[in-house]
Homo-oligomer: A and B are copies of this chain.
Amino acid sequence: MRHSIEMEKLTLGVCYYPEHWDRALWKDDLQRMKQYGIEVIRLAEFSWALMEPEEGKYDFSFWDEFLALAAEENMKVVFCTPTATPPAWLSEKYPETLNADGDGNLMYHGMRGQHNLTSPKYLEFCEKITRHMAEHFNKYDCIIGWQLDNEVNCEANEYYSKSDHEAFRAFLKERFGTLDNLNEKMGTIFWSQTYTDWDQIHLARRSTAGTGLANPHMQLEQVRFISHSAVHYLALQASIVRETAGDRFITTNGIFENLDYQKLMESGVDFIMYDSYPNFAYAMDRPDGGEGDLKDRNFSFNLARTRAISPLFGIMEQQAGPGGWNFRIHQASPKPGQLRLWTMQSVAHGADFVSFFRWRTCSFGTEIYWHGLNDYSNRPNRRLEELSLVKADFEAIKDIAGHPYEAAVGILCDYDNEWDGQKDVWHGPLRNFSTDGWFRSLQKKHIPFDFVDFREETNLKDLEKYELLVYPHATILTKERAEILTQYVANGGKLVMGCRTGYKDIYGRCPMQPMPGEAAELCGVTVEDFTFLAPGEPMEYVNWNGKRIPAPVFNDVLEPAFGGKAEGFFEGNYYDGKPALVTKNTGKGLAIYFGGCFAEETADAFLEALSIQTPAPWLVLPEGCELAKRGDQYFVLNYKAQSCEITLKKKVTDRLTGNEIEGTYEVAPYGVLVLL
């Protein structure tokens, strides 16, 4: 298992749809791609109807013809299984393959992704076409890898078809063994929900609370089940392709909800590709967030999340122009410089391969406004001009491939809490709030960070490389994970935890123990009282060694215990003066429990108090610039429409221009530097 892409050098690609265009255009398209430095094309992910025009009749002649030309033009190919868009005949003849809403209303043919992930019939069709394709196409040398399906869980991430209910039962039977065990773990004694037969169990259909809402523990299992189904669905394809793939990579593109990508990689997918569309920040239905909004820079958050799965990855779809569907999504055009900026944003965060979506804007269908590098007219335009600059950039820093992003701060995240928090308004929204606060603070202070997937398999080594770990609201915290964190601290690590920690078990139940459960001894603290801050109430603050920091949204009122020491105290509400921040030294390290959520200003205070520094102290950047580090090279990305002044306290080289620079230096609007 590699789990990271392996490119020899930074590489450019593009998504291409020969089936959308007259054959007469193909050769010119491929040759122009090469002029712009494009070496790889992605093909065929939506072409099932073309390859299996009627049930059981496979016809690969179209792709044979095209691949022959691609080979001739020395174009490398990522080939796709087309299972994201079943043909009309399939959906019409086998309605059991269709996804459904919570009332059982089927999702019919007409858009894409109308299928479910569990229908034996659909899996059979997927298996067959994948097998036929693998056997047929793996003979093509130009194919360097496979993408399975497309954006699984994008169009829908809940499934309520008949086969889903059945598969859910099987999943629970496997997981709990007996109904007695299930009833106990799911707390069904509450509201008389006890199951006495497996057939009484369903996914969360319509209840008196609407559709998709049920017993909270069942709800958590439902998300686990969806992820399980998606992993199984892709693993099936992976195993078939693998048989004949040789050393070709197998990937899929994401990242979407309700899918454990770590499990997916353990099940046969080599690494993950990300689809990066930062221009959503400039969509017409997005109100202007003003200075406080990081806009397109927020996609660095997503890229960090991707990196937690595959440290080095590819961008399968990199925004090439304004995005849009005909009936929703309408984005302003990327401004001159943004296409290049966003490409380099991807590279800065660990992408070794960047494939634009798409070569030319489609003339028909739902995505007539999802603009490619070329316009409908195929005439030169400023996006192609900008692509030339990207080509030069890639050439200049091509050797960065293989060098991972480097960070000394890790934000712990895990699927248990993420999934439980989807519906649980008592901790899920807190997590989003606080993660955003840390992200903003770290961004503006130019401190690179990683997201760290905290899993059963995570070991001390995975954590030790970080100077600081932040685990904002670990509501579900197992004994095992608490122990690893204790070791991390004992070995010298710094750990920060927030309110609402440790009060749930892995089924989302709240055991009879004092809060914060398994974190109590680790952080030296007990929670004595707690409250949301009601709307209209003044902000709550914590006085931490004389500094006043915000403690928004929710407060745990603390009491030191197990050797903890109260260092911060509430100011404002009825618990005025009570402990709000408790620290505990264990071994060489330090754990802090903070009885609130983390606003940006709160995170600022922690970074300062814990002396967490930027890795480039010789570089003075304004807030509008992002700093990233791969190997020994520093990326500076200016997200602003205005140029900005930076200060370099030593002489360095900008590898993109080859210039040696020092002292004050002006970075262009949307400008990028790679410093060594």
Contact B156 A82 (CB under 8 A): no
Question: Which residues of the other chain, B, contact A284 by a CB distance below 8 angstroms?
Answer: 425, 532, 534-535
Identify the interface centre among A46, A206, A214, A335: most chain B CB within 10 Å of its CB: A206
Contact B215 A365 (CB under 8 A): yes
A611 within 8 A of B: no
In the complex, how many angstroms separate the beta carbon of A203 from the nearest chain B beta carbon? Answer: 9
A464 within 8 A of B: no
**Contacts A49-B194, A112-B192, A282-B534 given; 12 further ones with Cβ under 8 A?**
A46-B190, A85-B191, A88-B188, A101-B206, A111-B207, A112-B208, A187-B364, A283-B534, A284-B535, A329-B425, A332-B533, A368-B509
CA distance A377 to B369 in the complex (A): 57
A426 within 8 A of B: yes
In the complex, how many angstroms separate the beta carbon of A183 from the nearest chain B beta carbon? Answer: 9
Question: Which residues of the other chain, B, contact A195 by a CB distance below 8 angstroms?
Answer: 88
Contact B366 A92 (CB under 8 A): no
Mark each residue of chain A from 562 to 585: 1 if its CB lies under 8 Å from any CB of chain B, else 0: 000000000000100000000000
Question: Which residues of the other chain, B, contact A204 by a CB distance below 8 angstroms?
Answer: 110
A9 within 8 A of B: no
Q: Which of B186, B216, B365, B536 contacts A190 (CB under 8 A)? A: B365
A322 within 8 A of B: yes
A665 within 8 A of B: no
Question: Which residues of the other chain, B, contact A199 by a CB distance below 8 angstroms?
Answer: 92
In the complex, how many angstroms separate the beta carbon of A572 from the nearest chain B beta carbon? Answer: 12
Mark each residue of chain A from 537 to 579: 1 if its CB lies under 8 Å from any CB of chain B, else 0: 1000000000000000000000000000000000000100000
Question: Which residues of the other chain, B, contact A381 by a CB distance below 8 angstroms?
Answer: 528-529
Size range of the chain A interface in the assembly: 35 or more
Contact A379 B514 (CB under 8 A): yes
Contact A423 B327 (CB under 8 A): yes
Residues of A108-138 contacting chain B, CB below 8 A: 108-114
A103 within 8 A of B: yes
CA distance A362 to B190 in the complex (A): 9
A200 within 8 A of B: yes
Residues of A226-267 contacting chain B, CB below 8 A: none
CA distance A367 to B196 in the complex (A): 22
In the complex, how many angstroms separate the beta carbon of A299 from the nearest chain B beta carbon? Answer: 16
A285-293, A339-347, A596-604 - interface stretch: A285-293
Q: List 18 A-B contacts (CB under 8 A).
A: A20-B189, A49-B192, A49-B194, A49-B196, A85-B193, A87-B194, A107-B206, A107-B207, A110-B202, A111-B208, A112-B208, A155-B208, A282-B534, A289-B536, A330-B532, A332-B531, A361-B510, A364-B509
A623 within 8 A of B: no
CA distance A188 to B322 in the complex (A): 23
Known: A196-B88, A208-B99. A425 touches B327 (CB 8 A): yes
CA distance A513 to B82 in the complex (A): 30
CA distance A328 to B326 in the complex (A): 32
Question: Which residues of the other chain, B, contact A424 by a CB distance below 8 angstroms?
Answer: 326-327
Contact A111 B194 (CB under 8 A): no
In the complex, how many angstroms separate the beta carbon of A376 from the nearest chain B beta carbon? Answer: 5
A624 within 8 A of B: no
The 6 closest A-B pairs by CB, nearest first: A288-B536, A187-B364, A190-B365, A333-B531, A110-B214, A332-B534
Question: Which residues of the other chain, B, contact A46 by a CB distance below 8 angstroms?
Answer: 190-192
Known: A191-B85, A336-B574. A366 touches B200 (CB 8 A): no
A512 within 8 A of B: yes
CA distance A548 to B377 in the complex (A): 31
CA distance A49 to B86 in the complex (A): 44
Residues of A364-389 contacting chain B, CB below 8 A: 364-369, 376-379, 381-382
CA distance A489 to B187 in the complex (A): 60
Q: Which of B89, B111, B209, B366 contacts A196 (CB under 8 A)? A: B89
Mark each residue of chain A from 166 to 177: 1 if its CB lies under 8 Å from any CB of chain B, else 0: 000000000000
Question: Which residues of the other chain, B, contact A289 by a CB distance below 8 angstroms?
Answer: 536
Contact B216 A110 (CB under 8 A): no
CA distance A82 to B189 in the complex (A): 13
Contact B111 A191 (CB under 8 A): yes
Name the CB-closest residue of B to A293: B536
Question: Which residues of the other chain, B, contact A513 by a CB distance below 8 angstroms?
Answer: 376-377
Mark each residue of chain A from 86 to 110: 1 if its CB lies under 8 Å from any CB of chain B, else 0: 1111011000000101011111111
A458 within 8 A of B: no
In the complex, how many angstroms separate the beta carbon of A375 from the nearest chain B beta carbon? Answer: 8
